[in-house]
Chain A
Amino acid sequence: MGDFSEDPFQMDDDFSASLHIASSYSDPIDNFTAATDQAQIRSRLAVLDLEQFPEDADDAFDEGEHKKATEMAQASLVNQPNHPLTPPENFAPVVNNIYRSSFPQTTNFSFLERLKLKSILCLIPEDYPDTHHQFLKNQDIKLFQLGLSGNKEPFVVISHELITEALKIVLDPANQPILIHCNRGKHRTGCVVGILRRLQQWSLTIIFDEYRRFAAPKERPMDQQFIELYNQTEIVSFCQERNYLPLSWD
């Protein structure tokens, strides 16, 4: 860990403050907006010189690895027509029609079909592979993408605004059933679920316990701090206006 030249408890930063949220399935204008957003995130990240703080190997999306896994999966499907269901790693229901998981692989598609998802919230900035776009199209699933950078000490932190946007998407009944995922389903997804638990007024101790269960063995104190210190005023009033609260178990 390097020296802190900034306040280590400063959790917010502005590099995504003015982004718009675009679903990648709609007209070309929206795709254009999404692309601009992507470019903006990347340019802001470039300023931070991320090379100095390489992503955790677990958090980085490895296209080569993904391709290999896809090929292997397809090969195994040919040999095994009646294959057992494979949920994505770290899959679990969160509450009612909200689910969480790691980055779904093609092997997980038959499992995901059964959830009858209306939308997916993807928390990584990388583009979805073609196989996945095809799946979304076939299943008529709407994709929301919010490129969150994970909490990396000392400088790269999850943006509060993006988390608020994420929750607005997740809590909207029009988008449910919805699956939240990042790469491993540990850190970024864990933060979103943690904040959602705060909206359910869960005790912080239990929220942390749940966060650690899914993040093990790579729990990050920064993420837990984030969950605790996140200012929920905006999302709470958003929810109250729309009668989303209390989030009761149906």
Chain B
Amino acid sequence: MTEIANGPQVTKITRPPKLRIIPPLNFCPVEHQLYRSGQPNIINQSFLEDLNLKTIVWLATEEPQEEFLDFCSQHNVNLEFVGMINDYNYNYNSNINPWDTLNDVTITRSLEIIANKENYPLLVCCGMGRHRTGTVIGCLRRLQNWNLASVSEEYRRFTGAKGGRIQVELLIESFDISVIEVKEETAPEFLVEYRT
């Protein structure tokens, strides 16, 4: 109580506990040098440094936290704001609803980034690493010629107790993968292999 009387003593946790590496929420490797997760926090910094990321695909509609932006500029990580494309391209201006799913344009843009090995090591993330990230990774799996049931199983593994959204799975199923060009010279090894 005395502390409160003297003014609030807010201490921000800026470091992980000793000898504990903390990956971001819902972190998982997807393919070689391709990772997925929820929004990284300041406590994930030392873990992120180990990944030597070159690019982060940001799928959420809201701006990332300030510390995260700082981290990206300090480590020369190229941050791609794919989730906010609606905003810039179509001038929706208002009413950006975080509950809206991604659409063909945003998925295509994300997959184009993923299909270029120049961008690796690469992290795909959104707020919680569930639905938006799941949509893009799901479409990537279809591009890799996975069957839809396996895609759905993987998507649902990351959605937590509330489970998967049918809307997301419909989007994954209906996405036209033929619009994504996989070029042998520029695509990462795992994509070239799966196509041949």
Contacts and interface: CB of A to CB of B under 8 A. Distances in A.
Interface of A: 83-87, 89-96, 114, 200-206, 209-210, 213-214, 216, 248-250
Contact of A85 (B23, B26, B121, B144): B144
B21 A200 contact: yes
25 contacts: A85-B144, A85-B145, A86-B147, A87-B146, A87-B154, A89-B153, A91-B150, A92-B28, A92-B154, A93-B30, A93-B32, A94-B29, A114-B193, A201-B20, A203-B20, A205-B22, A206-B22, A206-B27, A209-B25, A213-B26, A213-B157, A213-B158, A249-B33, A249-B52, A250-B33
B21 A86 contact: no
B29 A93 contact: yes
A91 B31 CA distance: 11
Given A83-B147, A213-B157, 13 more contacts: A84-B147, A85-B194, A86-B147, A87-B154, A93-B31, A96-B32, A202-B23, A203-B21, A203-B22, A204-B20, A206-B22, A210-B27, A248-B50
Interface size class of B (residues with CB under 8 A): 20 to 34
Interface string B43-65: 00000001110000000000000
Contacts of A203: 16-17, 20-22
Contacts of A204: 20
B166 interface: no
Contact of A86 (B28, B32, B146, B157): B146
A30 B170 CA distance: 51
A95 B29 contact: yes
Nearest to B156: A216
B52 A87 contact: no
A210 to B, nearest CB: 8
B144 to A, nearest CB: 7
B19 interface: yes
A200 to B, nearest CB: 6
A86 B16 contact: no
Contacts, number: 70
Contacts of A216: 157
A86 B20 CA distance: 36
* Across the A-B interface, the 6 shortest Cβ-Cβ residue pairs: A84-B147, A93-B29, A203-B20, A203-B22, A201-B21, A85-B145
Contact of B19 (A84, A201, A214, A249): A201
A227 to B, nearest CB: 14
Contacts of B17: 203
- The CB with the most chain A CB atoms within 10 A, among B26, B51, B147, is that of B147
Contacts of B194: 85, 114
A91 B26 CA distance: 15
